[in-house]
Amino acid sequence: MKQFIFLLAFILLIGCSGNKKEATPQQQSEPQITEVDVTVPTVVCDMCEGTITKAVEGLEGVKGIDVDLDKKTAHVKYVAAQTNIETIEIAIADAGYDANNRKRNSDAYTALPACCKND
């Protein structure tokens, strides 16, 4: 009888320990997505939107960008471990547009189509 109770307790112990959920490797490595709004005061048209989008989407870790012409902002989603706001601002400035307090690259600005220039 003692052996039966011991065996039953052992089976219950093993059965209950199997209910723990462990994180899968995929769950453990979920990247942290950061979202930021970048002010782009010199954006004026759809071509500007396309140029900025192309420049930022080319960065490693960027998961999405939405340029709002009316608000003059670029909403960017990115993996914080792969890029940062400074890199995003530099990419926008190197495309010829002001980004937050970072001034545009003057050579890139000169190369923009006339519709994209605001002076």
The string of pLDDT tens digits covering residues 1-18 is: 666 565 556 666 666 555
Indicate the number of domains in the chain.
1
Cβ atoms of 83 and 60 closer than 8 Å: yes
2 belongs to a structural domain: no
The dihedral built from the CA positions of residue 79, 103, 51 and 43, taken in this order, carries a sign that is: positive
Instruction: Reply yes or no on whether the pLDDT at 20 is more than 70.
Output: no
Judge whether 18 lies within some domain. no
Task: Using CB atoms within 10 Å of the CB of residue 67, give its burial: 0 to 12 exposed, 13 to 18 middle, 19+ buried.
Answer: buried
Residue 60 domain-assigned (yes or no): yes
If one counts every other C-beta atom within 10 angstroms of the C-beta of residue 47, the result is 14
Secondary structure of residue 15 in the 3-state scheme: helix
Judge whether 94 lies within some domain.
Answer: yes
Q: At residue 79, does pLDDT exceed 90?
A: yes
Asked whether residue 99 is assigned to any structural domain, the reply reads yes
Q: What is the pLDDT of residue 10?
A: 61
pLDDT at 118: 79
The answer to whether residues 62 and 88 touch, using CB atoms and an 8 Å cutoff, is yes
Q: The domain containing residue 53 runs over which residues?
A: 31-113
* 118 belongs to a structural domain: no
Position 31 scores a pLDDT of 81
Q: Could you tell me the CATH number of the domain that includes residue 58?
A: 3.30.70.100
- Give the range among 8-17, 23-32, 40-49, 52-61 with minimum mean pLDDT: 8-17
Q: Is residue 97 part of a domain?
A: yes
